[in-house]
Amino acid sequence: MATWLENLAKVAHRWVFVLAVALVSTVLAVVISNQRFHWIESLIAFERIGKLGGSIGKTAFILGFAATLYYGVRETFVMLKKSQAPVPVWLDGWAKYWISLLRLAHPLLGVIVFSVVVLHGYVMWQIWAGGNFSFAVETGLMAATILSIVATSGLLIRSMPKLAKLRYVHRLVGMLFVLSFVIHRIVAD
């Protein structure tokens, strides 16, 4: 019998494209409406905008960690199996359960991360930094650009699942994103 979490993950996996369009459209609507009407600045004191942007960035990090947890858990489990290390039955069942759940949640988490990163970038660069460039902004733009390639390759994987090279590109560019994110965090602090 499936748990509520498994059922939720299955629904999210099935409807990921529709949810992606809705979420990205919402973020773009926020950005475009704020460009025109400056409602974020009128609701939040300027001194707090940087804190808001930082909180949005931390949320993106937590969600991104959850999205990449799928690969970490799966690769650890596969390496344990290949090394023929004795794996207790409870751990085998636990790992398979979480790997299947995280596999279903991974695409939706990726879309949410991408959307939250766009919002973070907009708030920090356009509102808080006034559209000016700094090294923190440049490293953030580099990370966001690499993340957009990760997201695009992820969408292509969903439409062409048998093309194994896409999965390789997705993982490789994902690792580049992690590196660019670390650089951005070092510079932004």
Q: Is residue 63 within 8 Å of 109, Cβ to Cβ?
A: yes
CA distance 100 to 110: 16
CA distance 188 to 131: 16
Which pLDDT does position 141 carry in this prediction? 96
Which pLDDT does position 22 carry in this prediction? 92
Q: Is residue 178 within 8 Å of 137, Cβ to Cβ?
A: no
The CA distances from residue 179 to 89, 91, 120, in Å, are 36, 31, 18
| DSSP state at residue 122 | I
H-state helical runs in the chain: 4-14, 16-37, 39-43, 46-82, 89-121, 135-159, 164-188
Q: Is residue 108 within 8 Å of 101, Cβ to Cβ?
A: no
What's the structural domain count of the chain?
1
Q: Could you give the maximum distance between any two Cα atoms of the chain, in Å?
A: 61
Give the residues of the chain that fall short of pLDDT 50: none
Which pLDDT does position 2 carry in this prediction? 66
Which pLDDT does position 33 carry in this prediction? 94
Which pLDDT does position 175 carry in this prediction? 95
Instruction: Provide the token pair at 49.
Output: 């905008």
Which pLDDT does position 4 carry in this prediction? 84
- Range of 135's domain? 4-188
